[in-house]
Amino acid sequence: QGEYQESDSGASCYFAQHIKGSTTHGTTFKAEVHEPWRDYDVSVNSIWYKAQTSSDALAAQTDFEIMCFAEDDWATQALHAAVTSPNFAPPPGPNGVILNQTLALQGAIGLVRTLDKTPPTVSLTIAAPASTESSLEVTMNIDEAGTLYCLPLERNTPAPHISAITSFALSIVCANPIGCSGVVLTVPDLLKGFDYDVHCFAEDDNVYPQVPNGVVLPVLPARVNDITPPIITIHGSESPKRDLIVVTLQLDEEGTVYCYSPTNTGDPTLVSDVVSYGSVVPISAADVDGHVKVEVTKRGSQVLSLIEETSYVTYCAAKDSTTNPDCSGCTVPNLSNLQEISDARDSIGALTTLDESPPSFTQLGARGIGETAIRVTFSLNEPGTTYCRAVRTDVGEASVDLNVVIAAQFFANNDGNNLTTIDIDKEVNDLSYPLLDSGTGYDVYCWSQDEAAMSSCRPDTPTNGSACVETASPNYMLQSYVDAVFSASTYPPQTASPADGGRIDMVRTWDTTPPTLVYISAESRSETSITVVLQLNEPGTAYCRAYNDTQNATDLIVADIAAAPNGPFGFELPSDSSMRIYAAHAYRDFEITVTGLTREVLYFVYCAAEDDEA
pLDDT in tens, 214-227: 999 999 999 999 99
pLDDT exceeds cutoff 70 at 1:
no
| Predicted TM-score (pTM) of this structure | 0.70
CA of 439: how far to CAs of 305, 419, 454, 507, in Å? 53, 26, 46, 10
CA of 60: how far to CAs of 186, 203, 204, 208, in Å? 30, 14, 11, 15
* CA–CA separation, 608 and 557 (whole Å): 8
* CA–CA separation, 445 and 390 (whole Å): 6
pLDDT exceeds cutoff 80 at 61:
no
* CA–CA separation, 96 and 339 (whole Å): 92
Judge whether 299 and 315 are in contact, CB under 8 Å.
Answer: no
pLDDT exceeds cutoff 80 at 187:
yes
Average pLDDT over residues 500-504: 97
Average pLDDT over residues 488-502: 95
Q: What is the pLDDT of residues 123-151, one digit of tens each?
A: 999 999 999 999 999 999 999 999 999 99
Higher pLDDT, 121 or 463: 121
* CA–CA separation, 342 and 337 (whole Å): 9
Residue 490: which residues within 8 A CB-CB, separation 6 or more?
Answer: 365, 496
3-class SS string, 347-373? HHCCEECCCCCCCCEEEEEEEEEECCE
pLDDT exceeds cutoff 80 at 581:
no
Provide the pLDDT for residue 614. 61
Q: pLDDT category, 192, cuts 50, 70, 90?
A: very high
Q: pLDDT category, 101, cuts 50, 70, 90?
A: very high
Average pLDDT over residues 55-60: 87
Q: What are the percentages of helix, strand and coil residues in the chain, rounded to 5?
A: 10, 40, 50
Average pLDDT over residues 43-60: 88
- Biggest alpha carbon–alpha carbon distance for the chain: 228
CATH topology of domain 517-611: Immunoglobulin-like (2.60.40)
State the CB neighbour count (10 A cutoff) for residue 183.
16
Give me the residues paired with residue 185 across strands.
138
Task: Tell me the pLDDT of the chain averaged across its residues.
Answer: 93
Judge whether 386 and 366 are in contact, CB under 8 Å.
Answer: no
Judge whether 288 and 298 are in contact, CB under 8 Å.
Answer: no
Judge whether 441 and 579 are in contact, CB under 8 Å.
Answer: yes
CA of 356: how far to CAs of 108, 297, 385, 458, in Å? 109, 15, 16, 23
Average pLDDT over residues 29-45: 91
Domain positions in the chain are 15-113, 122-223, 240-321+335-352, 361-508, 517-611
Q: Pseudo-torsion of CA 69, 73, 74, 75, nearest 10°?
A: 100
CATH topology of domain 122-223: Immunoglobulin-like (2.60.40)
Q: Nearest 5 degrees, angle CA 506-CA 508-CA 510?
A: 175
Provide the pLDDT for residue 230. 95
Q: pLDDT category, 584, cuts 50, 70, 90?
A: confident
